[in-house]
Amino acid sequence: MATLTVSRAPLSGFSFDNCKRNALLEGEANKVGSNLPAARKTGTTICGLVYKDGVILGADTRATEGMVVADKNCSKIHYISPNIYCCGAGTAADTEMTTQIISSNLELHSLSTGRLPRVATANRMLKQMLFRYQGYIGAALVLGGVDCNGPHLYSIYPHGSTDKLPYVTMGSGSLAAMAVFEDRYKPDMEEDEAKRMVRDAIAAGIFNDLGSGSNIDLCVITKGKVDYIRPHDEANQKGVRTGDYKYKRGTTSVLTKMVTPLSLEVVEESIQTMDTS
Amino acid sequence: IVPVAGLCPQGAYGVQDSLRGGFSSVKNELLPSHPLELSEKNFHLNQDKMNLSTLRNIQGLHAPLKLQMEYRAARQIQRLPFLQSSHLALDTLRGSDDVIGFEDILSDPAQSEMMGEPHLMVEYKLGLL
- The pLDDT assigned to B28 comes to 65
- Asked if the Cβ–Cβ distance from B117 to A134 is below 8 Å, we say no
A15 has a chain B CB within 8 A of its CB:
yes
- Asked if the Cβ–Cβ distance from B120 to A15 is below 8 Å, we say no
**Alpha-carbon Rg for chain A in angstroms:** 27
Shortest CB distance from A14 goes to which of B82, B102, B109?
Answer: B102
pTM (2 decimals)?
0.82
pLDDT at B87 over 90: no
- The pLDDT assigned to A1 comes to 41
Q: Which is nearest to A221 in space by CA: A145, A120, A141?
A: A145
A3 → chain B, closest CA residue: B115
Tell me which amino acid residue A163 is: D
Sign of the alpha-carbon torsion through A187, A193, A195, A197: negative
Higher pLDDT, A247 or B24: A247
β-bridge mates for residue A142, sequence order: A87, A155
Sign of the alpha-carbon torsion through B121, B127, B128, B129: positive
Nearest-angstrom CA–CA distance, A261 and A270: 26
Chain A residues close to B117, C-beta within 8 Å: 3-6
Q: A172 CA to chain B: closest CA distance, Å?
A: 27
A7 has a chain B CB within 8 A of its CB:
yes
Catalytic residue among A3, A5, A42, A44: A44
Q: B35 CA to chain A: closest CA distance, Å?
A: 9
ipTM: 0.81
Higher pLDDT, A121 or B7: A121
- The pLDDT assigned to A174 comes to 93
| Contact yes or no for B32/B26 (Cβ under 8 A) | no
- The pLDDT assigned to B86 comes to 83
pLDDT in tens, chain A (277 residues): 444 555 666 777 888 878 888 888 888 888 888 777 777 776 789 999 999 989 999 999 998 888 888 888 899 999 999 999 999 999 999 999 999 999 999 999 999 999 999 999 999 999 999 999 999 999 999 999 999 999 999 999 999 999 999 999 999 999 999 999 999 999 999 999 999 999 999 999 999 998 888 899 999 999 989 999 988 888 788 888 888 888 888 888 889 999 999 988 889 999 998 888 7
- The pLDDT assigned to A8 comes to 65
Q: Which is nearest to A173 in space by CA: A140, A143, A149?
A: A140
Torsion of CA A32, A36, A37, A43, to 10 degrees: -110
Q: B84 CA to chain A: closest CA distance, Å?
A: 9
| Max intra-chain CA distance, chain A | 87
Shortest CB distance from B115 goes to which of A3, A108, A136?
Answer: A3
β-bridge mates for residue A63, sequence order: A71
Nearest-angstrom CA–CA distance, A176 and A225: 30
Shortest CB distance from A6 goes to which of B33, B41, B121?
Answer: B121
Name which of A35-44, B2-11, B66-75, B108-117 the model is least confident about. B2-11
pLDDT at B76 over 80: yes
Work out the pLDDT band at B79, boundaries 50, 70, 90: confident
* Displacement of CA B33 from its chain's centroid (Å): 19
Residue ranges of domains in chain B: 1-31, 35-76, 80-98+116-128
Chain A residues close to B121, C-beta within 8 Å: 6-7, 9
| Count of all residues that appear for chain B in the document | 129
Which domains, from first to last, does chain A contain? 41-234 (3.60.20.10)
Alpha helices in A114-222 (DSSP H): 119-132, 174-184, 191-208
Q: Which is nearest to B48 in space by CA: B71, B74, B78?
A: B71
Q: Which is nearest to A88 in space by CA: A49, A43, A136, A135?
A: A43
Mean pLDDT for B56-85 is 90
- Strand order across the A54-60 sheet: A167-170, A46-50, A54-60, A216-222, A225-233
B53 has a chain A CB within 8 A of its CB:
no
Mean pLDDT for B95-108 is 87
Nearest-angstrom CA–CA distance, B63 and B50: 14
Q: What angle do CA A216, A205, A143 make, to 5 degrees?
A: 65
- The pLDDT assigned to A3 comes to 44
A133 → chain B, closest CA residue: B36
Tell me which amino acid residue A20 is: K
A61 is catalytic: no
Nearest-angstrom CA–CA distance, A83 and A55: 10
Chain A residues close to B124, C-beta within 8 Å: 7-8
- Asked if the Cβ–Cβ distance from A12 to B28 is below 8 Å, we say no
pLDDT at B22 over 70: no
- What percent of chain B shows pLDDT beyond 90? 25
Shortest CB distance from A12 goes to which of B36, B106, B113?
Answer: B106
pLDDT at B39 over 80: yes
CB atoms within 10 A of CB B58: 8
A161 has a chain B CB within 8 A of its CB:
no
Mutate which of A1, A14, A130 to test chain B, going by most B C-beta atoms within 10 A?
A: A14
Chain A residues close to B32, C-beta within 8 Å: 16
Backbone angles phi, psi at B10, to 5 degrees: -90, 0
B100 has a chain A CB within 8 A of its CB:
yes
